[in-house]
Amino acid sequence: MSDMSETNDGYEAVRAAYPPLLNTSQVAELLDLNTRTVLAMANDGRLPASRLAESRKFHFLLEEIIGTLKKHRVVPGQVMVEENA
């Protein structure tokens, strides 16, 4: 967290509530998802994760999860609604 704008980005409470390195259950809780969904998203690359060689256990960096949330932020008025033709 070397950049001041990073610490004042609205995610201060998340940083205070979670450790820098998260497990699957913590990410599921943070994102309000099922752990299987988190595993599937980590497996297909939708969530940044790492794991040790020959291990099935994922590890997630809190700042990368926050970055993913920022990248995929939904802004009112910019949501595209598909029309059925």
* pLDDT tens, residue by residue, 45-66: 999 999 999 998 999 999 999 9
6-37: per-residue pLDDT in tens?
568 999 999 999 999 999 999 999 999 999 99
Helix axes 24-31, 62-71, angle to 10 degrees: 30
Res. 5: pLDDT tops 70: no
pTM of the model: 0.79
User: What Å distances lie between residue 85 and 38, 77, 82, CA to CA?
Assistant: 34, 22, 9
Encoded amino acid at 24, one letter: T
Task: Compute the C-alpha angle 65/62/71, nearest 5°.
Answer: 25
Domains of the chain, start order: 4-71 (1.10.1660)
CA-based radius of gyration for the chain: 15
- At residue 80, the pLDDT reads 63
